Chains A and B, each alone.
Chain A
């Protein structure tokens, strides 16, 4: 008894000691993990932290830049748990499993531009059946010049075709504003001509055997309309199936589905506009144009001032690296968290020229390289922190090429120059159109990475003797071959188009031994298509404009953001000393470092402890209702 008593006292003393050690936080009795002082227990996390009422995620998993193997496993485990609750339930009558099937490149437009055959001779050219076919061409050199498509029939010559050609395409979701809304493009192709590979081989009559396609300067116009609409699309649901034996007809109900998009989207969806959400891009907005990201500083009448967004990155002391994919290499010479400033030098990797040292004050943009009216590089110190592994670190963002764009200014795409035309009223940029300054040549010819245009020529011959038929209707069957010819322009969509294939339970998938199975009577689940990954790198979290709540995986050694938050809340820096082998879990409902967004920290001194913390979090998510 006595011995036992001693042990109990020892154990109590040990527990007290441990509790004292842990008095910086509180050890949960149920599952042993530590909540750092000042942070809340995860039992306070509401379901809305993870998922919005419509089933879309309200959280991103922040992956540490110094993730170790167990951190990978922890993050993946949490993700599987999260995935299992991220969907929207919707009523659906039929049991169906949604499958998608992608086809190869899609043909958008196929135009036969030259056609010489029996059909065009007798119909388009109205040649009399008996006498008109006598002069049927026997070789390429004899092909006539007037079988080009003139927009209506195959009776034109080459220049008639060139003059008549035009094509218009509407493409969905090419550019975005503030990363959210997507704007379709209107592409007009006014002019197209052929450039024979061997000009000596071509006299301009029949189509060249091989040729490049040439779009002359200003032959193509791409326009983006930034007026954003709220519009509805009619959807028809079956509310009652037909029972033909009883004469009961099918009953359907019309439902209006709300969508957001610009005029192109409305047109492609055959929608009805409800109201205008936004009249255009305003100062402070970020938008993409031909894939490059711009930040708008101000909007004038017929012009706007913007800079390309180069990106934001963390720099350790004496670390040199390029800012985003730009040509600017930044080196952090020094950082002083107390003075809230950092010193950098900048190198232009294109010219080798060095700039600086430059003092950056926290939160204040600084023009580093200026030439004429253009600010070639502007840097801003976004944040400063101290990290155990790296020492002092600074987060620096930058804009490049800040200038005023008015109609006639150039933007670049793949080293091609495009002239822009701006429609703005001093408050909103309503529309931007672009036309190519440089001529575009090639076969196949790539257009803005979206379309490929191809030219092809095809000639076949047939011998009268072989088929025992008088092809040219001259009254004799001789050993003569006659030719037919066809030239084509094809426009292909570069992105495989996803077609929806609905397969019911019990169906076999063609070519596989899979049979679609499911639970009888189940409903459909609406699964959305991706635009923003659920993951984000710690370096890429936008501290000023966070877009969701965050789950931070990994200790302050692995995760820069965890390190910053610990610094900000004056939490212990050395995990091993303070938390030992315990898993660490903390919840911050409104993190002022992240503009009031919620944060869950899943960490531990060792990756194994982080792993345990992840398991505990998963169990907690599982218990949410």
Chain B
């Protein structure tokens, strides 16, 4: 009998601890978006601010975040609410535009990096481009919609760190509270907008901030 109680008590404690850990991961995920950040600048004429977790030039911080060679990059397209909205209404064009511009820019960033690496070891131009594309296809995941599990991985820091860049698109249905581009912690960049069209503009602003673009010039 005592043994049985012990087992039950143990299970209870294990469940409780498990719940506690999951809860702390989850809340560290949600805390990414709640912060008032120590540094902020407004991009004039755009009604978008750029903010960062460090007391430094936030534009420099966005650049520092993107200009870092990561092993992997994940782009989160939105929450399940937006996903459902997209599927039920089919009105997802601006989210698509934002996602395409963003993933093209990071594809180019990482692609250039591997291209140079390949050139360095003697590949010719086209072989190096092929190598870059293979690496990018392997390392960039530009097609993730948020799931509970993904939230936990982010909260735990498994995604969104100095080896694994995380970019989150956060629109009106995903809980956006401002028009802003921000770096809430190392290896995480959030584009947050109160409407989908602004989210797209923010994706274009990233191209202006980094000076990298997939576009014609």
Q: CB of A414 within 8 A of chain B?
A: no
Whether the pair A69, B145 counts as a contact (CB closer than 8 A) is yes
List which B86-128 residues lie within 8 A (CB) of chain A: 86-87, 90-93, 95-97, 99-117, 119-120, 125-127
Most chain A beta-carbon neighbours within 10 Å: one of B56, B101, B109: B101
Chain B residues with CB under 8 Å of A4's CB are none
List which B183-217 residues lie within 8 A (CB) of chain A: 186, 204, 207-217
Most chain B beta-carbon neighbours within 10 Å: one of A65, A84, A496, A534: A84
Q: How far is the CB of A528 from chain B (nearest CB, A)?
A: 4
Whether the pair B67, A99 counts as a contact (CB closer than 8 A) is yes
Whether the pair A622, B133 counts as a contact (CB closer than 8 A) is yes
Chain B residues with CB under 8 Å of A82's CB are 104, 107, 214
Contact code string A78-106 (vs B, CB < 8 Å = 1, else 0): 11111111110100000001111110110
Whether the pair B41, A623 counts as a contact (CB closer than 8 A) is no
CA distance A532 to B211 in the complex (A): 13
Q: CB of B54 within 8 A of chain A?
A: yes
Whether the pair A69, B86 counts as a contact (CB closer than 8 A) is yes
Q: How far is the CB of A275 from chain B (nearest CB, A)?
A: 22
In-complex Cβ contact of A77 among B64, B83, B142, B209 (8 A): B142
CA distance A101 to B54 in the complex (A): 15
Whether the pair A67, B215 counts as a contact (CB closer than 8 A) is no
Given A72-B96, A512-B64, are A84 and B204 also a contact pair (CB < 8 Å)?
no
In-complex Cβ contact of B209 among A63, A65, A100, A521 (8 A): A100
In-complex Cβ contact of A69 among B65, B83, B105, B130 (8 A): B83
Q: CB of A157 within 8 A of chain B?
A: no
Whether the pair B63, A494 counts as a contact (CB closer than 8 A) is no
Q: CB of B31 within 8 A of chain A?
A: no
In-complex Cβ contact of B59 among A83, A102, A514 (8 A): A102
Q: CB of A145 within 8 A of chain B?
A: no
Whether the pair A83, B60 counts as a contact (CB closer than 8 A) is no
Chain A residues with CB under 8 Å of B211's CB are 98, 100, 498, 500, 527, 529
Residue of A nearest to B126 (CB): A625
Q: How far is the CB of B171 from chain A (nearest CB, A)?
A: 11
Whether the pair A72, B92 counts as a contact (CB closer than 8 A) is yes
Whether the pair B213, A529 counts as a contact (CB closer than 8 A) is yes
Residue of A nearest to B205 (CB): A530
Chain A residues with CB under 8 Å of B215's CB are 57, 528, 530-534
Chain B residues with CB under 8 Å of A338's CB are none
Q: CB of B129 within 8 A of chain A?
A: yes
Contact code string B119-152 (vs A, CB < 8 Å = 1, else 0): 1100001110110111111001011110000000
List which A501-542 residues lie within 8 A (CB) of chain B: 501, 509-514, 516-523, 525, 527-535, 537
Residue of A nearest to B111 (CB): A84
Chain B residues with CB under 8 Å of A78's CB are 100
Chain B residues with CB under 8 Å of A85's CB are 111, 129, 132-133
CA distance A553 to B99 in the complex (A): 13
In-complex Cβ contact of A79 among B65, B83, B87, B100 (8 A): B100
Whether the pair A518, B69 counts as a contact (CB closer than 8 A) is yes
Q: How far is the CB of B133 from chain A (nearest CB, A)?
A: 5
Q: CB of B159 within 8 A of chain A?
A: no
Interface size on B, residues (CB 8 A): 82
Whether the pair B116, A522 counts as a contact (CB closer than 8 A) is yes
Whether the pair B217, A523 counts as a contact (CB closer than 8 A) is no
Provide the main secondary structure of the chain B interface: helix
Q: How far is the CB of A224 from chain B (nearest CB, A)?
A: 20
Whether the pair B100, A87 counts as a contact (CB closer than 8 A) is no
Whether the pair A81, B100 counts as a contact (CB closer than 8 A) is no
Whether the pair B111, A622 counts as a contact (CB closer than 8 A) is no
Q: How far is the CB of B58 from chain A (nearest CB, A)?
A: 9
CA distance A243 to B62 in the complex (A): 37
Q: CB of A111 within 8 A of chain B?
A: no
Q: CB of A71 within 8 A of chain B?
A: yes
Whether the pair A625, B217 counts as a contact (CB closer than 8 A) is no
Whether the pair B100, A76 counts as a contact (CB closer than 8 A) is yes
Q: CB of B61 within 8 A of chain A?
A: yes
CA distance A80 to B105 in the complex (A): 7
CA distance A89 to B132 in the complex (A): 13
Whether the pair B208, A83 counts as a contact (CB closer than 8 A) is no
Residue of B nearest to A66 (CB): B90
Q: How far is the CB of B143 from chain A (nearest CB, A)?
A: 3
Residue of A nearest to B52 (CB): A512
In-complex Cβ contact of A495 among B44, B117, B143 (8 A): B44
In-complex Cβ contact of B90 among A67, A79, A99, A528 (8 A): A67
Q: CB of A75 within 8 A of chain B?
A: yes
Chain A residues with CB under 8 Å of B86's CB are 67-69, 72
Q: CB of B77 within 8 A of chain A?
A: yes
Residue of B nearest to A492 (CB): B44
Whether the pair B92, A87 counts as a contact (CB closer than 8 A) is no
Q: CB of B9 within 8 A of chain A?
A: no
Q: Which residues of A contact B (CB under 8 A)?
A: 47, 56-57, 61, 63-69, 71-87, 89, 97-102, 104-105, 449, 494-496, 498, 500-501, 509-514, 516-523, 525, 527-535, 537, 553, 557-558, 607, 611, 618-619, 621-625
Please list the 9 inter-chain residue pairs (A to B) with the smallest Cβ-Cβ separation, ordered nearest first. A83-B107, A84-B111, A511-B56, A73-B143, A530-B213, A66-B90, A80-B107, A84-B136, A528-B217
A/B interface sample: 13 pairs, CB < 8 A: A56-B217, A67-B90, A69-B145, A80-B136, A83-B109, A97-B67, A99-B67, A102-B59, A511-B57, A514-B64, A530-B217, A624-B126, A625-B130
